[in-house]
Structure 1
Amino acid sequence: MGQYTAPLRDMQFVLHELLDVENELKALPRHADIDADTINQVLKEAGKFCSEVVFPLNQVGDQEGCRYHDGVVKAPTGFKEAYQQYVDAGWPALACDPDHGGQGLPVLVNNALYEMLNSANQAWTMYPGLSHGAYECLHAHGTPAQKAVYLPKIVSGEWTGTMCLTEPHCGTDLGILRSKAEPNDDGSYAITGTKIFISAGEHDLAANIIHLVLARLPDAPPGTKGISLFIVPKFIPDEHGAPGQRNGIRCGSIEHKMGIHGNATCVMNLDGARGWLVGEPNKGLNAMFVMMNAARLGVGMQGLGLTEVAYQNSLAYAKDRLQMRSLTGPKAPDKPADPIIVHPDVRRMLLTQKAYLEAGRAFSYWTALQIDRELSHTDESVRKEAADLVALLTPVIKAFLTDNAFTSTNLAMQVYGGHGYIAEWGMEQYVRDARINMIYEGTNTIQSLDLLGRKVLGDMGAKLKKFGKMVQDFVEQEGVKEEMQEFVNPLADIGDKVQKLTMEIGMKAMGNQDEAGAAAVDYLRVVGHLVFAYFWARMARIALDKQGSGDPFYTSKLATARFYFAKLLPETAYHIRAARAGSKTLMDLEADLF
C-alpha cells in the first residue's frame, strides 16, 4: 500500500522562510492575529488526519470503486465514515467566512490542507473539494436568502456541492449547451437537460447535494452570453432548512474510468428539476467562473499532492531495493548489491520529482497568499496587483503542475521497475489518477490558450510584466553576488527569452490567430519554467544563507536547486524553438489526408 507522511518541514520552509506568512498576514485585518504556531499546529493535525484516516482508503477506493444501482451511488468502504470524521473535526469550515459558521483561516492554510488530502487520497478529496468550490461561488454571487439557506450547511460539511457544466455534445465549448430553464410561477425554474462527467454528482456521504447548474432561459441570446446559473438541490430544503422534497435531478449512470475510481463521475439527468437563479440572468458563466477558477487551482493541488506521495514512495524504494553495483565501486560492500539510489539515472528520476515538487509547492502557496491579499488587503492597489497575478498564473498552476505530476508519477513508477507496474505496490494507481488532472477543468491545451490568448496577449502583456518586474527586481538585487550567479544568470536569461518570445508570437498572431494556437502549449511550458526558476533562485538564496547552520535540509535544498537549473530548465530551449516554428506545418495538411 505504500506510505504517506505529511511533508511538514518543507511546508514550513515555504510558509515561514520563503513567504514570511506571519508578517504578510499582519497586513490583512481578517487574519492579522494568526501566527506561525497556529498555522503549524493546524497543519500538523491535518497531516495526522490525512495519513491515518484518509490515506489507508486510497487503495480500497481504487479497487472497489463506486457502486451504482437504480440512481443510487454508494462510495467505497470507509469513505462515508472518513467523511464524517472530517466533518466532525471541522475541516470543511477551515477557510470559510465566520458569518456562515466558518473558521476564517487564510486560503493559504486551506491550500496546504488540500495538498495533504490529495496526497493521501485524491478520489476521496474530490467530494469536499468540490463542495468548497460551491461555497465560494455562492458566497460571491448568492442572494442573502440563498446564503442563509445553503452556506451554513456547506460550510459545516452536512451538505456537499457540485458544478454541472458539461453536456454530451459539448465539453469546453459551453456556448452550445442545450439545458433549458423555464420559469415557474413561484420564482423558481424548471430545468431540463443532461449533464455528464459530474464529479461527486451522487453519493451517500452527505444528507444533501447542492448542484450548481448552467442552463438557458427561454429568451437567452446564443453563445456564452446566454447562459444562466442555478442552484438545483438534490432535496429541496423545507421551511426549517432541512432536506425536504426529492428534486427532479437524478444520476443516470456512473462512468467506468482509468483512475480516481473512488469518486463517482456521474451522468445527471434533469427532468423539470426545480432550480433557483444565482446572480443575473444570462450572466451565469461569470458567476460559475468563481467555482471554475477555484477548481483549476484545486486541480493543480491534486497534481502537487500526487507528486509528493509518489516521490516519497519511490525514494523509500530506491533506498531499500538492491540491484547491481555502483559504477564507481561498491557503496554497500556488506550487502550482495547496492541500493539503486547509487545509480545516476535513478537519481535523475528522483531529483526530477523533487525539483518539480518543491518548486510547485512554493509557487502554489505563493499564489494562495496572493488570493488572500486580493480578498483582504487594505490597499486597493495591492488587491488589484494580487488579482492580476492570480489571473495570469491560474492556468500555469493547473497545467504546469499537472503535466509535471504525470511526468513525476511515471518516473516514480519507473524507479520501481516491474514492481511499479503491479497493483499491490500502489504506484501504478498514482499514474492513472494523475492522468485525469491534465484533462478536466479545462484541458491543459485550454489552459495554454487562456494564458497566451487572454491573460498575456489580451492585455498587451500588462499582467505578465507585473510578474516580470518581480523577477527583474530579484535579479538586480542578487545579480551582483558571486554565490548567486549560477542561479541568477539563467533566471535573467529565461526572463529575457519569455519577453522576446511573447512579442514574436503576438506579432505573428495579429496576422494569423492559428499562430497563437500552435505556440500556446510550448509557451505555457516556458512560462512555467520562468516561474519555477524564480522560486528556485529565491529558495537557493535562503539555503545559501542558512547552510552554515549544519541542517542537512538546506544542503538538500541547494543541491536540488542546482539540479533544476542544470537539468530541467534547459527544456525551455526546445519549447522556445517549437513555439517559433509556427502553425504552417500543423495546418497545411488537409484533414482527409491524415
Structure 2
Amino acid sequence: MPSYKAPLEDFDFLYNEFLDLTACADLPTMAEASPDVIEAVLSEAAKVAENVLQPLNAVGDEIGCRLDESSHEVRMPEGFGEAYRDWCANGWTGLIADPDFGGQGLPNFVGLAVSEMINAANASFAAYPGLTLGAYEVIHHHGSDAQKATYLPKMVSGEWGGTMNLTEPHCGTDLGLLRTRAEPAEDGSYRITGKKIWISAGEHDMVDNIIHLVLARTPDAPAGTRGISLFLVPKFLVNADGTLGERNGVHCVGLEKKMGIKASATCEMEYSNAIGYMVGEKNRGLAAMFTMMNAARLVTGIQGLGMASAAYQAAVTFARERLQGRSLDGPKYPEKAADPILVHPDVRRMLLISRASIEGARALGLYTGVELEIEQHHPDEAIRRQAGYWVSLMTPIIKAHFTDLGFEVANLGMQVHGGAGYVRDTGVEQFARDVRITQIYEGTNGVQALDLVGRKLIANSGENLKAFFTPVTDFIAEHDGQDEVAEFIDPLKHAARLLQDTTGWVYQQMSKNPLEAGAAGADYLRLFALTAMAFMWAKMAVIAHARLEAGSERKAFYQAKLDTARFFMTRMLPETTSLDARIRAGAGPMMDFDDQAF
C-alpha cells in the first residue's frame, strides 16, 4: 500500500525563500508565527499525517461510514474517532482560529500547508475539521456576539462539528430554487423544515454536537436568491449555561454510497420543525454563506493538490522499483535483469508533468494564502482591498485547476503502475476515486470557469486583473535581458502577453453574446492557471539559480527546481497556444450544433 512523506523541504523553501512575508510582518496573526514556530508546526503536522492519518486511509476506504437507521446516527470506521480526538487534543482544530475563542491565531498560509498534508494522507478525515472550520468562519464573520460566545469555543476545540447545508433534491447550483422553509417563532427563533442532500459531515459520532448552517426561506421572502436567509441549526440544542439540551428536529435519513472518500459521511438531512437561529441579515443568507464557500473553494483546491502529491510519491516509488525492459539507448543497470521503468521517456514524462504541476500549485496556493492573510488582517484598508483583488481572482482558478491536476496526476500515477495501478491491492486507484469529487463539489469546475469569465474579469473595474498582471509585469521587467534566466523569463513574458490579448478578445465577444463566456470559460481558466503557474515557476527558478551560483550546499534541491521549471516552460506552458486557438473558435461550434443530434 502507498505511504506518504510530507514535503517539508519544499515547504521550507517556499516559506523562507520564495514567499515575501514583509507585508504580513506586523499583523497580529504573525505575532507567534516565527520561522521556528512555522517549522515546528509543519514538522508536527507531518508526523500526524504520515503516522496516524495515512495508515487509516485504506481502512476508511474499505469500511466506510455506516448509518444506524433506528437512531439516525452515523458510525465512523475503526480508528477515526481516536485519531480525531488526538487531533483536537493537540490543538489542530484551532490552528488558525481567533484566540478570543480558544484558537492559536496562526496565519492562513500555515493552515493551507497543514491542509495539504492531511488531505494527502487521508482526504476523508480532513473533511471533518475542514467543514467545521468553514462553519466557524461564517459564524465568526456574520454571527451575533451571543452566537459566537455560545458556539465558537466548542467548534474551535473540535468538541462540536460544523456543516453547510445548501443543496436540495431539486436544486444544486441554482439555489434560487430552494424550498426549505423557516417559520418565525415568538421567541425570535425559527422553525426549519425541508430536506438537504449531499451534506458532508452531516452526521457522525466523533463530536458531541454538530452545528448546521442551513439556507432557507422565510414566509415573506422574495423569490430567487434575494430571498434566502441563513440559519444556525444545532443537532442538540444548547442550554443557557452552555450544556447540551434536547435533540433538535434534524436527522440524517440517508447515507450516500460513493465512488470515493468513503469515510467522509455524505448525508441526506431532514429538518422537521427544527429550531434554528438566523445568522446575519434577513434575505442576505447567500452572501453570508459565501464566506464559507470561498474558503471551502480554496481548501478544495488544496485537497486536490494534496492527493496529487500522494499519488505522485507512490508512482515515483513504483517507477524506481519496477524492472521492465531496457533503456532505448542501452542498459542503464546491466547488473539487473531489466532496467527500472524510471529510465523510459514516457514514464519520466508522466512523472515530470505530475511534479511540475504539484510544486507549481503548491507555490501558487501559498502565495495566495499570504494575500488572503493581508486581505483579512492588514490595518490599511487600501492594502486589504488590493490583496482581496488577487484572492477573488485566484479563488476559482485554484479550485478548478488544482482539482483538475489532482485527477490528472492520480490518473498518471495509475498509468505509471500499469496493470498494478488498476487493482485495489496497490492502493493507488483510491487516489483517482477520492480526488474525483473535488472537481464537482463546492461548485463544479465549469461553474468556477463561468465565475472567472462572467464575474471576475469585469469585477472591480478591472482591478482584479491588474492585481495579477502588475506583479507579473514588474517581475518580468526586473529580470528581462538577464541571459542566465532568460529560458524562464521569456516564456512567461510570451504567456502573459497572450493571456492579456486573449482576455481582451473574450471581453469583447462577451459584450456581443453572453454565450461566449460559457464557451470560453474552461479553456480560459486553464490558460490563466498555466500563466499563473509560469509566474510561480519563473520566480522559483530565479531563486534556485541564484542559490546555485552562490554555491549552496543544497545543490541537488535547487538543481531539481531548475530542471522542473525547465520542463514546465518547454513541455507544459506551450499548451497556452492551443488554448488560445480553442477560445477564439468561439461559441458557434458548440451552440450551432442541433439539440436533436445529441
- Place the TM-score, normalised by the shorter chain, in its bin: over 0.9
Counterpart in the other structure of 1:539: 540
Provide closer, same or farther for how the CA distance between residues 506 and 12 of structure 1 changes in structure 2, counting only shifts above 3 A.
same
Provide closer, same or farther for how the CA distance between residues 546 and 55 of structure 1 changes in structure 2, counting only shifts above 3 A.
same
Counterpart in the other structure of 1:46: 45
Q: Deviations over 1:441-492 (max 9, x none)?
A: 0000000011111110344532112210110000000012011111111111
Provide closer, same or farther for how the CA distance between residues 582 and 459 of structure 1 changes in structure 2, counting only shifts above 3 A.
farther
Residue 235 in structure 1 maps to residue 239 in structure 2: no
User: More displaced, 371-380 or 532-541?
Assistant: 371-380
After superposition, residues 99-498 of structure 1 pair within 5 angstroms as 99-498=100-499
Counterpart in the other structure of 1:59: 58
User: More displaced, 461-470 or 272-281?
Assistant: 461-470
- Matched AA of 1:132: L
Counterpart in the other structure of 2:511: 510
Counterpart in the other structure of 1:572: 576
Residue 11 in structure 1 maps to residue 15 in structure 2: no
Take 1:242 and 1:252, find their aligned partners in 2: how far apart are those partners? 26
- Matched AA of 1:301: I
Q: Is the 8 A contact 1:195 1:269 kept in 2?
A: yes
What is the deviation of 1:358? Answer: 0.3
Q: Helix, strand or coil: the match of 1:68?
A: strand
Q: Deviations over 1:221-265 (max 9, x none)?
A: 111110000000000111221221101110110111111101011
Q: Helix, strand or coil: the match of 1:549?
A: coil
Take 1:393 and 1:25, find their aligned partners in 2: how far apart are those partners? 19
Residue 94 in structure 1 maps to residue 107 in structure 2: no
Q: Deviations over 1:32-53 (max 9, x none)?
A: 4421011000100010011111
What is the deviation of 1:589? Answer: 2.4
Take 1:342 and 1:263, find their aligned partners in 2: how far apart are those partners? 39
What is the deviation of 1:20? Answer: 4.0
Take 1:360 and 1:144, find their aligned partners in 2: how far apart are those partners? 38
Take 1:383 and 1:33, find their aligned partners in 2: how far apart are those partners? 21
- Matched AA of 1:564: F
- Matched AA of 1:425: T
Counterpart in the other structure of 2:558: 554
Q: Helix, strand or coil: the match of 1:282?
A: coil
Q: Is the 8 A contact 1:471 1:534 kept in 2?
A: yes
Identity across the alignment (%)? 52
Q: Is the 8 A contact 1:194 1:269 kept in 2?
A: yes
Counterpart in the other structure of 2:590: 586
Take 2:32 and 2:272, find their aligned partners in 1: how far apart are those partners? 49
What is the deviation of 1:169? Answer: 0.5
What is the deviation of 1:592? Answer: 2.4
Q: Is the 8 A contact 2:6 2:46 kept in 1?
A: yes
What is the deviation of 1:378? Answer: 2.6
- Matched AA of 1:373: I
Q: Is the 8 A contact 1:58 1:120 kept in 2?
A: yes
Q: Helix, strand or coil: the match of 1:440?
A: coil
Q: Is the 8 A contact 2:32 2:106 kept in 1?
A: no
Take 1:63 and 1:461, find their aligned partners in 2: how far apart are those partners? 49
What is the deviation of 1:503? Answer: 1.0
What is the deviation of 1:75? Answer: 1.1
What is the deviation of 1:117? Answer: 0.5
Q: Is the 8 A contact 2:67 2:75 kept in 1?
A: yes
Q: Is the 8 A contact 1:26 1:33 kept in 2?
A: no
Take 1:148 and 1:460, find their aligned partners in 2: how far apart are those partners? 39
Q: Is the 8 A contact 2:120 2:309 kept in 1?
A: yes
- Matched AA of 1:173: D
Take 2:458 and 2:506, find their aligned partners in 1: how far apart are those partners? 9
Q: Is the 8 A contact 1:25 1:34 kept in 2?
A: no
Q: Is the 8 A contact 1:254 1:266 kept in 2?
A: yes
What is the deviation of 1:550? Answer: 4.4
Take 2:206 and 2:40, find their aligned partners in 1: how far apart are those partners? 28
Take 1:83 and 1:332, find their aligned partners in 2: how far apart are those partners? 46
Q: Is the 8 A contact 1:392 1:455 kept in 2?
A: yes
Take 1:110 and 1:33, find their aligned partners in 2: how far apart are those partners? 14
Take 1:577 and 1:549, find their aligned partners in 2: how far apart are those partners? 43
Take 2:575 and 2:60, find their aligned partners in 1: how far apart are those partners? 37
- Matched AA of 2:7: P
What is the deviation of 1:343? Answer: 0.6
Take 2:596 and 2:415, find their aligned partners in 1: how far apart are those partners? 38
Q: Deviations over 1:90-129 (max 9, x none)?
A: 1001111010011111111111111100001001110110
Take 2:336 and 2:119, find their aligned partners in 1: how far apart are those partners? 37
Q: Is the 8 A contact 1:237 1:244 kept in 2?
A: yes
Q: Helix, strand or coil: the match of 2:125?
A: helix
Take 1:382 and 1:283, find their aligned partners in 2: how far apart are those partners? 27
Q: Helix, strand or coil: the match of 1:437?
A: helix
User: More displaced, 398-407 or 27-36?
Assistant: 27-36
Residue 28 in structure 1 maps to residue 27 in structure 2: yes
User: More displaced, 27-36 or 217-226?
Assistant: 27-36
| Number of residues of Structure 1 aligned to a counterpart in Structure 2 | 593
- Matched AA of 1:19: L
What is the deviation of 1:25? Answer: 3.3
Q: Helix, strand or coil: the match of 2:457?
A: helix
- Matched AA of 1:122: A
- Matched AA of 1:6: A
- Matched AA of 1:246: R
- Matched AA of 2:131: L
Q: Is the 8 A contact 1:29 1:378 kept in 2?
A: no
What is the deviation of 1:424? Answer: 1.4
Take 2:324 and 2:461, find their aligned partners in 1: how far apart are those partners? 55
Q: Deviations over 1:310-347 (max 9, x none)?
A: 11111111111111001111111110001111111100
Runs of 4+ more than 6 Å apart: none
Relative to the length of structure 2, the TM-score reads 0.98
Q: Helix, strand or coil: the match of 1:205?
A: coil
Provide closer, same or farther for how the CA distance between residues 30 and 128 of structure 1 changes in structure 2, counting only shifts above 3 A.
closer
Take 1:563 and 1:532, find their aligned partners in 2: how far apart are those partners? 13
Counterpart in the other structure of 1:563: 567
Take 1:304 and 1:243, find their aligned partners in 2: how far apart are those partners? 38
Take 2:434 and 2:33, find their aligned partners in 1: how far apart are those partners? 35
Q: Helix, strand or coil: the match of 1:194?
A: strand
- Matched AA of 1:449: L
